[in-house]
Structure formats: C-alpha cells, structure tokens
C-alpha cells in the first residue's frame, strides 16, 4: 500500500514538472515573437552655415519734418489777397499773401521826393562853393566865406545819404506787405482771409512743412552707442523704416543727441529719408531697423534649434551613425530667426525640431514632409511626433 502511494506521488510530481516546463517554453516563444520597441526619434535636421550676419537694432519712431516755418507778418496790416490754397505745395520765394501796400507805397514816394530835393540842394551848394573858391583866388571874398560854403556842401551830402537810406527803409517796409515762402513745402491750414488784420504777435497765418526730405526720430538703448560709433565713425549708419503699408524705405542716420536720458537709459537719434512720393507723413509712426554691425564669417543656425537648459544653452548634433550628441554653445546674436553661435563648426548637422525627448546617444531619423495629394489634399503633418522617453 505504501509502495502504491509513493508511485502515485512520483507520477503527480512528474506531471507538474512537465506542465511547468511547457508553460515556460510557451512564454519564451511568445517573448521571442514580440518585437522590441523602436526608440528612433523622428526629427527635422538642418546644417550650420558660415556667412556674414548683420545685427539689427529695432525701435519705434515717428516721422518729423526737417524744416517747418510759421508764416507771420512783420508789420501790422490788412490782408488784401491770399494767393495760395490750403494743402498746396509751394516753392521757396513763391508769393503767398499780399497786404495793403498803399501806406508804405506812399512812404517810398515821399522818401524819393526827399532824395530829389536833397540832391538839388547839394548841387546848388556845390556850385556856390566853386564860385566862392574862384572869388577867393581873386581876393574878392574872405576865407571864412569859402569855409562856410564847403561846410554846407558836406551837410547836404550827409542829408542826401540819409534820404537814400530812408528810401531803402521804405522799400523794405513795402516788401513786408509781400509775404513769400521761405522754404519749399506743403501749406497747412490758412488762418487769414482777405480783410483780416495780420499782426506779428497773433496766430501764424499758415505753416509750411517740408516733406522732402523728412526725418524719423527714434531712441535706442545707450549701451548700443559705443558699437554704433565704432562701426560708423562718421555717424551715417544705414536705417530702414517700415511704413504702415509694410513697405520699407532706406535712409541714413544724421543726428545723435549729445546726452542720454538718465531715466530711460536711451538716447535720441534722427535719420534722414528722401520722400519724393510722399509716402512718409510728419507725425506718423514707423518701425525703425538700424544695422549696428556685421558679424563676418559667423556660424549661423536656425534659432529654434537652440535649447535653453537650467544653466547653459545647447543643441543636438547628429553624428555619422545618426545618433545625437548634446553640444553646449554660446549664442552671439539672434536675428530674423537665425542665431550666430560659437561651439560648433559650419556644416554640422543639427536637430531643428523634435528635440524635446532627445538625449545624447539616441538614434534619430529625419522627418520627411508629406507631398500634397493629386486630389487636392493638404500637406501632411510635418511636426515631429512625440515618442515616449526610453
């Protein structure tokens, strides 16, 4: 009986061992058939370039007129005629307004009459002096008579000079009634009309604003002044102004203020622009871009390739075996989506998109842009998919 029980137990143990072995074998086969997870990351790759890179300074500015003149009379008088219209373009020297000239015209006539009288008196006194000098030679008159005649001639000559000066003064007063443009430009609002009383201390009769050329005023941080002065010793840095329409016009720097603003840490500047088409209007705002310097032979990469770490900035280099290497870089400047960096060489392959789950040693594969279908389908998703971190 004991022998039979022992045999039964041995059979049960053998059956259990066979079952366990079968289960282990099936599990091993299933594990062999299951593929390993692919850890290759899909990324977008670009190459570092070596080229000159201009460094731009951006600012907001506004258009100002280089010359603006308030037209005022120099004498108080009545306006007789206005020869221009509001908004009209005028040339320097063009007649704008005529005042009442009658009083000043009569003053000129009076001064001319005085000149004629003084000239006649001087002529008579000069003849008298010559006659007395002849009589003195014959001992018919005394020396005192000749001296008196000569003194009278000198007095009348001075009077004639004064009268001639009075004529010039009267003509100047007459010219004050002809108000002319002192600069070329555009007229604003006209504040007088025929019959109005023009007064020197009153509101300006009109304003003339020069529209070509014009200036753009803007401010830059004072820390940029040293670089700007070094790059452009003559102060003629090129400046671009972007108008509200999106068009850019080119000009030159013409003015740097003699002191910085201590509160804002900025310094005022002006640039000069030609404006033949009147695209720039005084008082309007523009975006200013000034090339402060140029980096020659800079290593340039897309700015989005730069990854900011807790301490340093870095990017991922793609090695020859398609693995990536984290490389620390120093960013020299960022301009228009491009970054000038040091720490890599030109021609290096770098990861531009899809760096969020990368680390050194991970294999990458370049993401291809899906072509647009013939049936009018849209472009495929070009963003790098997020793969789970290994």
State whether 94 and 187 are in the same domain.
yes
Q: Is residue 373 part of a domain?
A: no
State whether 220 and 288 are in the same domain.
yes
Going by DSSP bridges, is the β-strand pair 238-242/285-302 parallel, antiparallel, or unpaired? antiparallel
Of 217 and 362, the one with more pLDDT: 217
189-208 tens-digit pLDDT: 999 999 999 999 989 999 99
212 DSSP 8-state letter: S
Domain count along the chain: 4
119-177 tens-digit pLDDT: 999 999 888 888 888 888 888 888 888 888 889 889 999 999 999 999 999 999 889 99
Q: Is residue 34 part of a domain?
A: no
275-303 tens-digit pLDDT: 999 999 999 999 999 888 888 888 899 98
Nearest CA to 221 out of 59, 64, 334 is that of: 59
Q: Is residue 121 part of a domain?
A: yes
Q: Is residue 219 part of a domain?
A: yes
Considering Cα of 244, then 245, then 246, then 252, what sign does the dihedral take? negative
Q: Which helix (H) or strand (E) holds 55?
A: strand 49-65
Going by DSSP bridges, is the β-strand pair 49-65/178-180 parallel, antiparallel, or unpaired? unpaired
Tokens 């070094």 belong to 230
Mean pLDDT lowest for which of 30-44, 53-67, 72-86, 352-366?
Answer: 30-44
State whether 249 and 188 are in the same domain.
no
382 Cβ contact list (under 8 Å, min separation 6): 44, 367, 369, 370
- Residue that is last in its domain, among 295, 315, 342: 295
For the chain, give the percent of residues with pLDDT over 90.
41
State whether 316 and 357 are in the same domain.
yes
State whether 96 and 181 are in the same domain.
yes
Q: What is the dihedral of CA 62, 262, 260, 249, to 10 degrees?
A: -20
The first and second tokens of residue 35, run together, are 């593929």
Tokens 């793969």 belong to 387
State whether 290 and 219 are in the same domain.
yes
Task: Give the 3-state secondary structure of 131-175.
Answer: HHHHHHHCCCCCHHHHHHHHHHHHHHHHHHHHHHHHHHHHHHHHH
Mean pLDDT value across residues 75-100 = 94
Confidence of residue 334 (pLDDT cuts 50, 70, 90): confident
239: domain CATH number? 2.40.30.170
Mean pLDDT value across residues 46-67 = 90
State whether 203 and 226 are in the same domain.
no
Q: Is residue 388 part of a domain?
A: no
The first and second tokens of residue 110, run together, are 């009076």
322: domain CATH number? 2.40.420.20
The residues facing 59 across adjacent strands are 288
Confidence of residue 95 (pLDDT cuts 50, 70, 90): very high
Alpha-helical runs (H) found in the chain = 2-33, 102-137, 143-175, 225-231
State whether 330 and 361 are in the same domain.
yes
Distance, C-alpha 195 to centroid of its chain: 45
114: domain CATH number? 1.10.287
Q: Is residue 29 part of a domain?
A: no
Tokens 């870095």 belong to 314
User: Is the bond preceding 213 in cis, omega lying within 30 degrees of 0?
Assistant: yes
Residue 93: give the domain boundaries: 75-100+177-209
With contact defined as beta carbons under 8 Å apart, do 187 and 179 qualify? no
- Residue that is last in its domain, among 160, 175, 190: 175
Q: Is residue 287 part of a domain?
A: yes
With contact defined as beta carbons under 8 Å apart, do 348 and 305 qualify? no
State whether 191 and 92 are in the same domain.
yes
For all residues of the chain together, what is the average pLDDT?
A: 84
Task: Give all strands of the β-sheet with 206-209 in edge-to-edge order.
Answer: 68-71, 206-209, 185-187, 89-90
pTM score above 0.85: no
Confidence of residue 374 (pLDDT cuts 50, 70, 90): very low
- Residue that is last in its domain, among 247, 268, 295: 295
Distance separating alpha carbons of residues 271 and 284, to the nearest angstrom: 15
The first and second tokens of residue 6, run together, are 């022992």
State whether 263 and 358 are in the same domain.
no
Q: Is residue 37 part of a domain?
A: no
State whether 290 and 347 are in the same domain.
no
Confidence of residue 385 (pLDDT cuts 50, 70, 90): very low
State whether 267 and 249 are in the same domain.
yes
Give yes or no for residue 48 having a pLDDT over 80.
yes
Of 390 and 78, the one with more pLDDT: 78
């Amino acid at each position: 009986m004991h022998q039979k029980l022992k045999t039964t137990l041995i059979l049960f143990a053998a059956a259990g061992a066979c079952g366990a072995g079968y289960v282990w074998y099936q599990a091993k086969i299933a594990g062999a058939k299951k593929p390993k997870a692919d850890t290759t990351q899909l990324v977008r790759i670009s190459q570092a370039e070596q080229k000159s890179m201009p460094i731009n300074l951006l600012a907001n500015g506004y258009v100002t007129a280089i010359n603006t003149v308030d037209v005022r009379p120099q004498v108080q008088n009545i306006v007789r005629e206005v020869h221009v219209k509001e908004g009209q373009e005028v040339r320097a020297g063009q007649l704008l307004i005529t005042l009442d000239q009658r009083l000043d015209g009569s003053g000129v006539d009076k001064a001319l009459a005085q000149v004629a009288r003084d000239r006649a008196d001087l002529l008579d006194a000069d003849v008298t002096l010559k006659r007395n000098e002849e009589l003195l030679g014959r001992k018919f008159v005394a020396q005192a008579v000749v001296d008196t005649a000569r003194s009278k001639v000198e007095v009348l000559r001075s009077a004639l000079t004064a009268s001639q000066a009075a004529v010039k003064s009267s003509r100047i007063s007459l010219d004050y009634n002809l108000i002319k443009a002192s600069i070329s430009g555009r007229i604003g609002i006209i504040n007088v009309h025929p019959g109005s009383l023009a007064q020197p201390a009153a509101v300006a009769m009109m304003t003339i604003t020069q529209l070509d050329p014009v200036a753009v005023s803007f401010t830059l941080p004072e820390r940029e002044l040293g670089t700007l002065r070094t790059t452009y010793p003559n102060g003629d840095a090129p400046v671009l102004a972007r108008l509200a329409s999106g068009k850019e016009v080119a000009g030159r720097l013409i003015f740097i203020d003699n002191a910085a603003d201590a509160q804002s840490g900025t310094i005022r500047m002006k640039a000069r622009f030609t404006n033949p088409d009147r695209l720039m209007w005084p008082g309007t705002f523009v975006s200013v871009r000034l090339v402060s310097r140029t980096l020659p032979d800079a290593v340039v990469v897309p700015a989005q390739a730069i990854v900011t770490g807790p301490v340093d900035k870095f990017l991922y280099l793609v090695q020859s075996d398609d693995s990536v290497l984290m490389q620390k870089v120093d960013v020299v400047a960022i301009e228009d989506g491009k970054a000038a960096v040091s720490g890599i060489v030109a021609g290096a392959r770098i990861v531009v998109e899809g760096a969020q789950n990368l680390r050194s040693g991970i294999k990458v594969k370049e993401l291809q842009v899906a072509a647009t279908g013939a049936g009018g389908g849209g472009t495929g998703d070009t963003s790098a998919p997020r793969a789970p971190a290994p």
